[in-house]
Amino acid sequence: MDVALSQHDAATELPIIPMRYRDQTPTFAKGWYCVAESDEVTKDALKPVSYLDEHLIVYRDTAGTAHVADAFCPHLGAHLASHDGGIFDGEIVCPFHKWRFDTATGKCASIPYTKFVPPQAKLTEYATREVAGMVLMWWPPEGGAPEFEPFDPSLYQHDGAWLLTGEKILESRVPFRDLFENLFDTAHIQQLHHSASLMEIETMDRTPYGLRVDYGKPKEAEEFPINAMLGSFTGIGLFNHVIYGTGFSFRQDVSVTPIDHERLVIRARMYIQDTGSPEMNEAIGGAFVQRVIAEIDQDHAVLHYKKHLKNPLICAGDGPIMKFRAYAKEFFPS
C-alpha cells in the first residue's frame, strides 16, 4: 500500500494549488462509491469513515449484510462510533443517551429512559452493495433511490480464477472529473507513458451500469502481446479494466471516492488470471503491477496539479475526451 501523496512533488517543488482554483464543480456526481474494503467491516464493530464531505459509519447486521449510514445520532447528534458507542447484540448503541438502533433496519429499537420511541427515530442510511471485495454506497446529490446497479467484475470469473497480485491506494488532489477522463486521452499514453504506439478506442457503448469501452489492439509489439482490452465504467466512480493477452489475462478494479472537494481516494486492485504456473503468475503479474503503478505515478506528476478546463483546446489525435465528458455530464445535477 502506498502512502498519500506529499504536499510537494519532489521533482518540481510546486506547492499544492487549492481546488477552488482548479475545479469549481459544485457537487459530487451521483453514483456508487467505495467506502470500505469488505474485509474491514465486521458484525461487532462500527467503522467510521469520511467521504463525500460526510461522516459515515459502515457496519454489518446480524445476517452479515453491509450497511452505510450517517455517523450522527438523530437524537442530539452524537457520533455513534465515539466514546463507548458501538454494536451490541445486533444493535447500534449511541454513546450519549444509549438509544439503540437495529442494525438491519436502522430503526430505533429502544430508549432506556422511556417506553415511547418516536416512530421517525431512524438512522439516515444509504443504499449499500458489496461488489468485488468493496462496500459501495449510493450517493444521491438530489435524493432518491439508486438509478442503476454497479458493474460486477465477477462476471469475468468464468475465464478462470483471478489472483490478486498487487494494489495501490493513495490520496489524490486530482480534479474528480479529470481522473477517468485521462483514460480517453489516448495521446498521453504515448507522450507521457512512452508507449510504442498511439492507442485507439474502437467503441464506446452505454450500458445499464454506465459505459463499456473497447480499446483497440496495440499496433506495435509489446513485451507481453495483448489481443484485446475492455473497460467497464459504473457511473464515473468505478472502473474495471480487463486485458486479454496471449496465454494470460490481467484485470484492474479501480475505485475513486471523493473525501471532500479537495481530496479523493484512489484504490487500484490488480489481478492476473491463474495460468496454472506460480512462476508465470508471478512473472507476468508482477510486471503488470509494476507498469500500472509506474503509470499512476507518472499521471499524478501532472494530474495532481492540473486544472479542469470547461472548454479545452482539443486537436486531432487527442482521443474521444469530449465523448467521455458528455457521458460524465449525465451524473451531475442539471
Let me know whether 250 and 109 are in one domain: no
Residue 228 domain flag = yes
- The per-residue pLDDT for 141 is 79
CA end-to-end span of the chain, whole Å?
A: 38
pLDDT of residue 8: 44
Tell me which of 78, 113, 139 is where a domain ends.
139
At which of 139, 162, 189 does a domain end? 139
Give me the tens of pLDDT residue by residue for the chain, a chain 334 residues long: 444 444 444 455 788 899 999 998 889 999 999 999 999 999 999 999 999 999 999 999 999 999 999 999 999 999 999 999 999 999 999 999 999 999 999 999 999 999 999 999 999 999 999 999 999 999 997 778 999 999 998 777 566 788 999 999 999 999 998 989 888 887 767 666 566 555 678 899 999 999 999 987 766 655 556 778 899 999 999 999 998 888 888 999 999 999 999 999 999 999 999 988 999 899 888 988 988 888 888 888 888 899 999 999 988 878 888 999 999 999 998 7
Residue 296 and residue 182 share a domain? yes
* Final residue in a domain of this structure, among 111, 139, 167: 139
Establish if 17 belongs to a structural domain. no
Tell me, what's the pLDDT at 57?
Answer: 98
Domain boundaries, position 231: 153-329
Q: Are residues 47 and 192 in the same domain?
A: no
Q: Which residues of 172-183 are buried (b: 16+ CB within 10 A; e: fewer)?
A: bbbbbbbbbbbb
Amino acid at 238: L
Residue 190 lies in a domain: yes
DSSP type of residue 247: S
Same domain, 89 and 179: no
Cα torsion at 90, 66, 34, 36 (round to 10°)? 50
Decide if 245 is inside a domain. yes
Same structural domain for residues 123 and 177? no
The phi, psi pair for 41, rounded to 5°, reads: -110, 125
Whole-model pTM: value is 0.90
Alpha carbon dihedral 139, 141, 144, 149, in 10-degree steps, equals -40
**Shared-domain flag, residues 86 and 235:** no
Q: Does residue 73 share a domain with residue 193?
A: no
Residue whose C-alpha is closest to residue 145's, from 126, 124, 172, 167: 126
What pLDDT is recorded for position 54? Answer: 97
**Are both 196 and 316 inside the same structural domain?**
yes
Given a contact cutoff of 8 angstroms between Cβ atoms, the answer to whether 295 and 183 are in contact is: no
Domain assignment of residue 5, yes or no: no
Q: Is the domain of 179 the same as that of 235?
A: yes
Query: Under 8 Å CB-to-CB from 93, ≥6 apart: which residues?
Result: 85, 86, 87, 99, 100, 101
Q: What is the CATH number of the domain that holds 159?
A: 3.90.380.10
With CA atoms as reference, report the closest residue to 284 among 295, 270, 294.
270
Does residue 36 sit within a domain? Answer: yes
Number of domains in the chain: 2
Q: Which of 170, 330, 143 is nearest to 259 (CA)?
A: 170
Q: Kindly state whether residues 246 and 132 are assigned to the same domain.
A: no
pLDDT of residue 223: 59
CA proximity to 71, closest of 82, 62, 63: 82
Which CATH number belongs to the domain containing residue 83 in this structure?
A: 2.102.10.10
In a domain, 22, yes or no: no
Residue 259 resides in a domain: yes
Question: Does one domain contain both 304 and 163?
Answer: yes
Does 170 lie in the same domain as 135? Answer: no
User: Which amino acid, residue 167?
Assistant: E
- Residue 2 pLDDT: 41
